[in-house]
Each structure stands twice: as structure tokens, then as C-alpha cells.
Amino acid sequence: MLLSQHDGGERSDELFARAVELLPGGVNSPVRAFRGVGGTPRFIRSASGATMTDVDGRTYIDYVGSWGPMILGHADPEVIAALSEALLRGTSFGAPNELEVEIAEEIIAAVPSIEMVRMVNSGTEATMSAIRLARGVTGRTKLVKFEGCYHGHGDSLLVKAGSGVATLGLPDSPGVPAALAESTITAPFNDAEALERIFARHRDIAAVIIEPVVGNMGCVPPNDGYLQSVRELSRRNGALLIFDEVMTGFRVARGGAQELYDIHPDITTLGKIIGGGLPVGAYGGSKELMRHIAPAGPIYQAGTLSGNPLAMTAGLVTLRRLRDLSIYERLEQSSARLCEGISKAASAAGVQTITNRVGSMFTTFFTDQRVVDWTTANRSNRDMYGRFFHGMLAEGVYLAPSQFEAAFVGAAHTDEIIDRTINAAARALSIVNF
């Protein structure tokens, strides 16, 4: 028997009722609350490979992947074995360790623009630190970001930020000082002329920060030549270009989107995959730039748990496995087949959808227009997505509980799992219009 969309299962319902009295909204990150799709969030007990099992014993094929990090799958045996050994040596030292050096070498070898890297504890910390570096080096204050791009919850960045902000209907966030908001200029994604006009009006822009492939208004790829234009305009106007590759790094290619599109930003931020599922972030660039960071230089940034041996262990195992480029070939094939299958199922059900994909990240938008920016993404039918989400959940497939998030295929999604997902989508789409 299929559950109603408001029924999370007896144990999940009980836990959520307790959680709303203890945690804001019952969750520790907003999009988990199911506000964008309705119903009660599933509380997860365990995960393995391509699946997660909730506290009521129901197992789901997972396309959230902890929001991107689980490219090898949940509880990968090699990662778990390495972590088990690392735990016995201690969880945090507050002092340098060999693993920090090794993971830095791995990142620098893979990401084209990075010659030196600083490890931090989250993607938000990485983007905040990258912006401070850009402002410190240029002596300028203003920042350009793009509508629908989310770069963490730093004060300067919660302006037209897409993702969870859009899901909850919050245009900006109270608590952000007006002066900080005023220092952030927003531009439409995939519109180089708009960026050119901004540079013509503002001479004190320190940096342009961009998701080279957007994942936080759903997956939105750059138009042909767009990133090249952003690179050229930034350079010509003396602003540093920051690629936020927290999501795309080691995901769309081993060297990230900058490898895929052959663009060298000045600063790159990373996270998610480089921690193998543990909390992590990083930012890097040329040695000339990064030597401005303390203690090598005057721009301060520090972190108690930065480079901790657990995150470094999980990340190092993951990144070494991803030296095998055949993994990316399989991810490309699996993701293409899945997206094609969902699109065909939607067409057969008479449901208008557009599926955007870059590598192993994708989003199915419930719209009949190409999705190229926040304006076109925002025209998607949220109610239809909510019905699709709950239809897939009832079929045993866990998608992001928001129209405005990317989904992720991992190495653990076998051909058989992809087929099961396509068949589930066909059944779920058959009820979307009712």
C-alpha cells in the first residue's frame, strides 16, 4: 500500500514531532524539512551503496548522495576501512599531519588552476575565505554573484541565492546588514552583456563568484562561450574570478568544471567530494595569490578542525579512486541513460519536462521552456514536482525535496538500479497531472 504524501512512517513522524520542539523547523539544514514538497521528512537510519534505509525500515534508491559527496556510494568499504584505522590514531590533533600534505598534492595534481590550497571545514567557509582573499589582494570591496547561485550562508552571499532560500520563499535573509548586501551586485546567469554593463557602472569590484555549472537552482549549464566571457570581463576589469566548485569539483570531471570547459579561474573553492562524505572545504589558486593567506601573508583565516585526519582520510581515499577516469565514463553513460529514460517517460505520460544534465548531475524541471537562468528555472511547476517527488518516494526512489536542487548519479548506481529508477519514474509521472 502506498503511503500518503504526508505520512513519513510511524517512526519518522514521531521523530519529526520531537525534532520540531528541539531544532528550528525540526532540521539542521532548511531543505531537509520537505517544505518545498510537503509531507514529513524521512529520518535515515543507514545507507549503503546507492541506497538509504529510513527508521521505518523502507529502503530508497538515493539520488541526493548527501547533496553530492557520495560519488563512490554510501559506506564505501575502502573509505570505511581507512576511517576505522584513522579513528584508532585519533580524531583531531590541532597540529599538522601528513594527510594534509597528501590531499593537497592530490588536489593540485587534478585541478588546473590550483598551485596551493588551504583546507577548511565547509563549502561556506571556503567561499567566505576566497572572497576575503580577493578583497584583501585587490583592495576593493564589491562582489558580483549570479541570480540563483548559492555559495553558502555567508552574509555577503545571501542575495538572490536560489536553493533552500528559493524553496522556502525567502528572497533574502533577515540579519544580513544592509551595507553588506549593498556590496553584493547580482547578475543574471548566462548573460554576458549584463555582466559587461555591471563592470561599466562599478569600478570597485573585487571579485566575480560563480557556479560554473549551477546546482542550486537545479542543474543549469553555461551557454557556449559564456564562461569564457566571464573570464575575459573579470580579467579586463581587474576583478578576480572565483569558481565555486564545491559541487562540480571532482564531479563533472576529475579537474572539475574548469577542466571540462577549459577555463582557469583565479580562485577555486571545493568541498563535498574532497571529504569523501565528511565535513570539508578548501580554496586554492596560484602560489602568488595564496601566499597572501596567514601565516604566509597578512590575510587571516584559521580553523580548529581544518585538515582533521578523518576528513583527510576519507577524502584522500576518494580522490585516489577517482584517478581512474573510467569511473567518469561510466557515470556519463549511466546519467545519460537515466535522464533520457525520465524524459521519455514524461513524454509518454503527457507531462512537460526539461531535464538539464552535466556529467553526473542533473535536474528534471517541470516546465516546457529551456532552463538557462533563475528566471526560467523559477517558472517550473513546484506543485507538479512535489507530486513527482512523492510518487518517486512511494516507488522507493529518494530525490531532492526541492525543484531547485541538482540530483547526483554515483558509481554505485548500477544498470539494474538505473532501470528500476526509470520504471519508477514512468509510474510516478502517470499521476503527476491528477
Q: Which pLDDT score is estimated for 434? A: 60
Q: Closest Cα to residue 355, out of 407, 391, 399, 394?
A: 407
Q: Which pLDDT score is estimated for 153? A: 79
Mean pLDDT within 252-272:
98
The yes-or-no verdict on residue 6 having pLDDT over 60 is: no
**If pLDDT is split at 50, 70 and 90, which confidence band does 433 have?**
confident
User: Which of 54, 56, 76, 244 is an active site residue?
Assistant: 244
Q: Which pLDDT score is estimated for 166? A: 44
Reading the block at residue 177, the C-alpha cell is: 546588514
**Average model confidence (pLDDT) across the chain:** 93
Q: Which pLDDT score is estimated for 230? A: 98
Q: Which pLDDT score is estimated for 7? A: 67
Alpha carbons 277 and 157: distance in angstroms, whole number: 24
Question: Comparing 155-159, 213-217, 275-279, 350-354, which segment has the lowest mean pLDDT?
Answer: 155-159
The yes-or-no verdict on residue 201 having pLDDT over 60 is: yes
Domains of the chain: 10-71+325-429 (3.90.1150.10), 77-321 (3.40.640.10)
344 is catalytic: no
Mean pLDDT within 243-260:
98
Q: Which pLDDT score is estimated for 170? A: 43
Alpha carbons 310 and 90: distance in angstroms, whole number: 9
Q: Counting beta carbons within 10 angstroms of the beta carbon of residue 270, is it exposed (0 to 12), middle (13 to 18) or buried (19 or more)? A: buried
Q: Which pLDDT score is estimated for 87? A: 97
The phi-psi region of residue 94 (left if phi > 0; otherwise alpha if psi is between -120 and 50; otherwise beta) is left
Q: What share of the chain in percent tops pLDDT 70?
A: 94
The yes-or-no verdict on residue 218 having pLDDT over 60 is: yes
Reading the block at residue 396, the C-alpha cell is: 522507493
Query: Diameter of the chain by CA atoms?
Result: 63
150 is catalytic: yes
Question: Comparing 160-174, 214-228, 263-277, 331-345, which segment has the lowest mean pLDDT?
Answer: 160-174
Q: Which pLDDT score is estimated for 159? A: 63
User: Which of 60, 63, 150, 261 is an active site residue?
Assistant: 150
Alpha carbons 350 and 386: distance in angstroms, whole number: 17
* Better-scored residue on pLDDT, 208 or 182: 208
398 is catalytic: no
Q: Which pLDDT score is estimated for 169? A: 41
Q: Which pLDDT score is estimated for 179? A: 73
**If pLDDT is split at 50, 70 and 90, which confidence band does 167 have?**
very low
Residue 4 to residues 35, 176, 284, 429, Cα–Cα distance (Å): 16, 39, 47, 16
The yes-or-no verdict on residue 164 having pLDDT over 50 is: no
Q: What share of the chain in percent tops pLDDT 90?
A: 88
pLDDT in tens, 61-72: 999 999 999 999
Mean pLDDT within 88-114:
97
pLDDT in tens, 316-369: 999 999 999 999 999 999 999 999 999 999 999 999 999 999 999 999 999 999
Q: Which pLDDT score is estimated for 160? A: 56
User: Which of 272, 283, 373, 398 is an active site residue?
Assistant: 272
Reading the block at residue 381, the C-alpha cell is: 511547476
* Better-scored residue on pLDDT, 44 or 157: 44
